[in-house]
Amino acid sequence: MAWLSGVVSTASVILPGIASAAQPMPWQVDLQPAGTGIMREIRWFEEYTLWFLIPIVLLVLGLLLYVIVRFNKRSNPTPSRVSHNTMIEIIWTIGPVLVLLMFAVPSFQLLTAQYTPPGEPGLTIKATGNQWYWGYEYQGDQAEDVSFDAYMLRDADRAEYGKEDKAVYPRLLAVDNEIVVPVDTTVRLLVTAGDVLHSWAMPAFGVKMDAVPGRLNETWFRVDKEGIYYGQCSELCGKDHAFMPIAVRAVSKEQYDKWHAAALEDVGVANKQLMAAIESQQKLASAE
């Protein structure tokens, strides 16, 4: 089933009529396709650990079955009086230590990479969690930069926002205003909350940062593939916790500059212009 999820997710990127880059799929058991270098490292580490975990599970299962069969009361009526075995104790002490070292080295490398952005950020966005929506502020050279709130898109409002295609704008995940970022640009994300604990989580980016009232947490991401990425609040924050999704639209730098210039005047108009430009580009690509 994992391969099927991967095929569907990949197709959503390749097919010109579908703009999504990563979103949850029905019956998905694998991680979402990586949209950043950090997420690719996380996927590699997950696959790497399985090469240790699967043999360990099978070994422990085999030992348990062997003990159950070999040393039950019927097969072994006279219990052994052996109290210890030096060699076995050395093996089960050194073995786990070596395995943990094999885990520790790459995990610390990954942790370091997650907290070490590649150079100065090209864009800074502040995300504020509220009950139950996200507020975003772009922080740039202008005294007043782009800012907006992102609410979950209701089915009744899909036509108004031009987001009727549920393959691209999934139910319970689509929002009225996506975060728009340029690809191949380091984005610094400042995360806080206005009321209770929230958590800004984007699986395809390998990012999950808690939003704490009165505290400013910092993380970063660098998207390398255009499309829409979906996440959700991942900290129980109240009755509508399940209804405050996160959507990031990654576009080319040229498209971002045009959107940003228009969004300084009107975010809604800028979003519609950007969507029209992307749809036009997809139609041209499909015609070719």
CATH 2.60.40.420, domain 123-287, yes or no: yes
What per-residue confidence (pLDDT) applies to 8?
38
Tens-place pLDDT, residues 29-59: 888 899 999 999 999 999 999 999 999 999 9
Q: Looking at beta carbons, which pairs linking 274-280 to residues 24 or more positions away fall under 8 Å?
A: 274/180, 274/249, 275/162, 278/19, 278/251
Position of tokens 């019956």?
27
Please tell me the predicted confidence (pLDDT) of residue 215: 96
Q: What is the pLDDT of residue 13?
A: 40
Closest CA to 35 of 207, 208, 241: 207
Q: What is the pLDDT of residue 45?
A: 95
Domain ranges of the chain: 37-74+83-114, 123-287
Mean pLDDT by 10 residues, the chain (288 residues): 39 43 85 93 95 94 93 84 86 93 95 92 96 94 82 95 93 96 96 96 96 96 95 95 96 96 94 92 78
Distance in angstroms (rounded) separating the CA atoms of residues 140 and 135: 16
Q: Global pTM? A: 0.83
pLDDT at position 6 is 42
